[in-house]
Structure formats: structure tokens, C-alpha cells
A and B are shown apart, each in its own frame.
Chain A
Amino acid sequence: MWNFLHKMASPPHFYGLSAKMIPWLYAAGVVAVIYGTVAGLFIAPVDEEMNDGFRIIYVHVPAAYISMMAYMVMAVAAGIGLIWRMKLAHAVAAGAAPLGAWFTFLALITGSIWGRPMWGTWWEWGDPRLTSELLLLFLYFGYMALRAAIDDTAKADKASAVLALVGAVNVPIIHFSVEWWTSLHQGPTIIKEGGPGIHPDMLYPLLGMILGFTLLFGALLLARVRTEVLHRESRARWVHKLLMPAGEPG
């Protein structure tokens, strides 16, 4: 096991292994998403209170879940890179950030679309999840802006790692604060989904979508990290061998 991890930490090994993993992740992810979409659009029953518009939760909830998970992946990878000085971990953090930001953006858009019929407006400050997602987006922007502002890659890795760790400690606190803040206001909330009364026909497509999104996130993340690794290791011999056909002078 230790040997496996040690091997994984080496960029050329990772590069080779991830090439084999990505197609499987894409395939499994697409299958899960197709199931979730079809079941969610056609099989899940309509709630008494809402019309078919609620079906957007099949995109919104997985996107929101991934947006949070991506931040944790980013923070953990950054922490590993900082403490154990693993270059690959820093590459994972760098790759996870833009992905996480996009999923956060997707969650915001779909959340806004979903809430519009209920709130009568495109944005409702009183909704805790929407506001939390917005702050999460700002956290992602801060991380990416700090990386972009530092020229030296190793230094940027370390500085953004500190930021990611500080952010990770604060994310639960931010969530709690926003919940408390909106609870004072007694505004409209989106849905009591995930509660005991949820119909299985509504739940399974949701789980399918979450699984599908997670697998797709994994595939996309590996693809991004591969690019990062190539870029960072561009002077290494294994990269040269990879990119230049055999037999040509190096």
C-alpha cells in the first residue's frame, strides 16, 4: 500500500496510470448521469407543491455537492503538498480549483433558476445555500488570483496551500454563519429535500446524478492534473521521451 502511494506520487507513474483510469471514469460517469437524467426527468413523480420546474435539482444539488467536495480535495491536496512536499499534490490542488469554481457557478445558476418561480426574483439573499455558494465562489477566486499573482510555481503552490487550508477551516464557519443569518430573517427556503419524506423515485435519480457528477469530476480532475504535470515537469527526461517520437535526437 505504501509502495503504491509512493509510486503514485511520482509524476511519470501518475501520468501513465491516469491515462488508463480516465476512460473508465468518463464511461461510468456518463452512464450514471444518463440514468439520473432520464429517471429524474421522466420517472420521478411531481411534488404536490411544485411543478416540473423542480427537476432542476437533479443538476443543482449534485453541482453544489461537487463544489464543496472540490474545495476539500483542493485543501487536502494542498496540505499534503505543503507538509510532505509532494509536487503532484500541488498539481492536484491547482487542477481542482478551476473545476470547483465552475461547479460552484453551475450551482448558483441552477439555484437561481430553480428559485425564480418561488421567489419572484432571480436572486434571494435570504436563501442560505445560494449565499454560501456565492461566498464559496469568492474563496475559489481568491485562491486562483493568489496563484496567478505569484510567478514562481513552487512559491505559488505553497502560498495558495496556506490560503486553501485557512479557507478550509473557515468554510464550515461561513456555512453556519449564513444559516444563522438567514434563520433570523425567516425567508423562503428552497426545499426540504433529503428529509424523511422523500420519495424513493425522487431520491434514486438524485443519487445517480451525484454519483455521475463525482465520477465525471474525477475524470476531469485527472485530465487537468495530467496537463499540469506535463507543464511542471516540462524539462524532465520522461516528458521529452513522451513528446518526441522514438529515434529522433533528443
Chain B
Amino acid sequence: MPPLLDGFLAIIRRDLLLAWKRPGDILNPLFFFAMVASLFPLAVGPSPEQLVLNGPGVVWVAALLATLLSLNSLFLSDFEDGSLDQIILSPQPLPLLGLGKAAVHWFLSGLPLVLVSPLIAMTYRMPGEVVGIMMLTLALGTVSLSLLGSIGAALTVGLNRGNALLSLLILPLAMPVLIFGARTVSLAAAGDAVSAGIYFLAAYCMLALTLAPFATAAALKISNE
């Protein structure tokens, strides 16, 4: 019986190697993130009070949309070239393999967002202490989104117009993460206590980490039939 982590590490290594050969794939969601964040001042006006007020919400909405953008292709290439058959038929536990895909997705999409977010926050005149809280909420939130998103990606892989359907499925489920993430940052900006929000985000993250891989595995088997 092979050690349980072999497949998990192997799929991470393989997907990172694939991403290394196509580095452009990381940049798209980042550019999208930056562009969406730029839309608001352009549309609503650059008044400083509005910027400061809207900053946390805008950063969070942009991060959510950028994450959705990159979720669509999570399982697509494996589905199309037959790798998904081999992955499902491997003796390694499918939930762990699904978790590995979600982990790579976060590393290539969520983590860069977190690292770039201070730049966006700066354009919204977010004070330094608040930026730290924002990055923490984004880190926890993007992990949850990658996990939740992998379920949606598994359910819609290979469907016509699966992209729009994926967003429709995931957005309502992602609302708690958005609500707690964005409002916690607003609370930090107002000087209020943020522990409730951080605890919630961490708890949701743990819940997603425990349950999402099983849902993703079930969805993959169903979609691959």
C-alpha cells in the first residue's frame, strides 16, 4: 500500500511543472484583479473619502472575481486529454488528489493575489495597519475559495458554457467568505475589533479543508462518467 501522500505530492509537482511551462497563466488573474480594482474609481469618482470607504469591499470583490476566473480551467485539461480517467483509477485516494489540485490553484492564484493586494490597497489609501488585516483575511479567504471553487469546477467540467454556470454555483456559497472578509477589513479601518471576523474566516477555512475534498472527489467521478 503506497504512502497516502504520494499522489497528493505528485499531482502538486506535476501541476506546478505544467504551470512553469506556461507562466502566462498566473498573470491573467492578477491583471484581472488589478483591472477590476481600477474600475471603481473610474466609474464612481476618485474622491478620497469614497476610496477609503470602498477600499476593503472593492479589493475583496476583485479578489473573488479573479479567483473565479482561474477556477474554470482547473480540471479541464485533465478531463479532455484522459488524465482524469487515470487519476480516478489510481489507487490513491481521490479526495487527496482533489485537495492537491486545490492547493496548486491557491498557490498560483490565491497567493499572488494576497501578495499583490497591498499595491491595490495603497491606491485606495488604506492605512498600513489595516493592510495587514486585509492580507490575513485574503489569505484565509482565498484558501476557502480555492477549495469551494474546486467543487464547482469539478461539477461543471466539460459542460457547455460551464464558465458562467460555475460562477452561478459558487458565488452564493462564497458569500459568507466575502461578507466576513470585507467587513472585517472595514472594521479594522474603523478601529473596531476584528477577532470575530478572523475566527470565522479561519473556521470556515477549516470546514472547507475537511469537507470540500470529498465533495470534489464525488463531483469528479460524476462529471467523468
A and B touch in the complex (CB under 8 A): yes
Identify which of A145, A169, A173, A174 gathers the most chain B CB atoms within 10 Å of its CB.
A173
Question: B222 and A155: CB pair below 8 A?
Answer: yes
Distance in angstroms between the alpha carbons of A180 and B187 in the assembled complex: 13
Residue A178 at the chain B interface, CB threshold 8 Å: yes
Residues of chain A within 8 A (CB-CB) of B207 are 169
Distance in angstroms between the alpha carbons of A215 and B204 in the assembled complex: 36
Question: B155 and A163: CB pair below 8 A?
Answer: yes
Question: A159 and B168: CB pair below 8 A?
Answer: no
Residue A159 contacts which of B160, B171, B179, B219 (CB distance < 8 angstroms)?
Answer: B219
Question: B204 and A173: CB pair below 8 A?
Answer: yes
Residue B175 contacts which of A165, A174, A184 (CB distance < 8 angstroms)?
Answer: A174
Distance in angstroms between the alpha carbons of A141 and B160 in the assembled complex: 17
Contact code string B207-220 (vs A, CB < 8 Å = 1, else 0): 10001000100110
Residue A98 at the chain B interface, CB threshold 8 Å: no
Residues of chain A within 8 A (CB-CB) of B204 are 173
Distance in angstroms between the alpha carbons of A146 and B151 in the assembled complex: 13
Distance in angstroms between the alpha carbons of A181 and B204 in the assembled complex: 16
Q: A149-B160, A162-B219 are in contact. Are A170 and B173 (CB under 8 A)?
A: yes
Task: List residues 60-102 of chain A with CB under 8 A from any CB of chain B.
Answer: 82
Question: A181 and B155: CB pair below 8 A?
Answer: no
Residue A149 contacts which of B159, B187, B219 (CB distance < 8 angstroms)?
Answer: B159
Residues of chain A within 8 A (CB-CB) of B196 are 180
Residues of chain A within 8 A (CB-CB) of B161 are 149
Residues of chain A within 8 A (CB-CB) of B165 are 142, 145-146, 149
Task: List residues 114-137 of chain A with CB under 8 A from any CB of chain B.
Answer: 135
Question: A170 and B222: CB pair below 8 A?
Answer: no
Residue A198 at the chain B interface, CB threshold 8 Å: no
Residue A9 at the chain B interface, CB threshold 8 Å: no
Residue B23 at the chain A interface, CB threshold 8 Å: no
Question: B168 and A141: CB pair below 8 A?
Answer: yes
Residue B156 at the chain A interface, CB threshold 8 Å: yes
Residue B180 at the chain A interface, CB threshold 8 Å: yes
Question: A159 and B175: CB pair below 8 A?
Answer: no
| Least distance between B84 CB and chain A CB atoms (Å) | 15
Question: B172 and A174: CB pair below 8 A?
Answer: yes
Distance in angstroms between the alpha carbons of A27 and B156 in the assembled complex: 42
Residue A166 at the chain B interface, CB threshold 8 Å: yes
Q: A135-B172, A149-B160, A170-B173 are in contact. Are A159 and B222 (CB under 8 A)?
A: yes
Question: A162 and B155: CB pair below 8 A?
Answer: yes
Residue B176 at the chain A interface, CB threshold 8 Å: yes
Residue A158 at the chain B interface, CB threshold 8 Å: yes
Distance in angstroms between the alpha carbons of A82 and B223 in the assembled complex: 14
Residue B129 at the chain A interface, CB threshold 8 Å: no
B residues at A contact (CB < 8 Å): 151, 155-156, 159-162, 165, 168-169, 171-173, 175-176, 179-180, 183, 187, 196, 200, 204, 207, 211, 215, 218-219, 222-223, 225
Known contacts A141-B168, A142-B165, A142-B169; 20 further A-B pairs (Cβ under 8 A)? A138-B171, A139-B172, A142-B168, A149-B156, A149-B162, A149-B165, A150-B159, A152-B225, A155-B222, A159-B219, A159-B222, A166-B215, A167-B173, A169-B211, A173-B176, A173-B204, A174-B176, A180-B180, A181-B183, A184-B183
A residues at B contact (CB < 8 Å): 82, 135, 138-139, 141-142, 145-146, 149-150, 152, 155, 158-159, 162-163, 165-167, 169-170, 173-174, 176-178, 180-181, 184
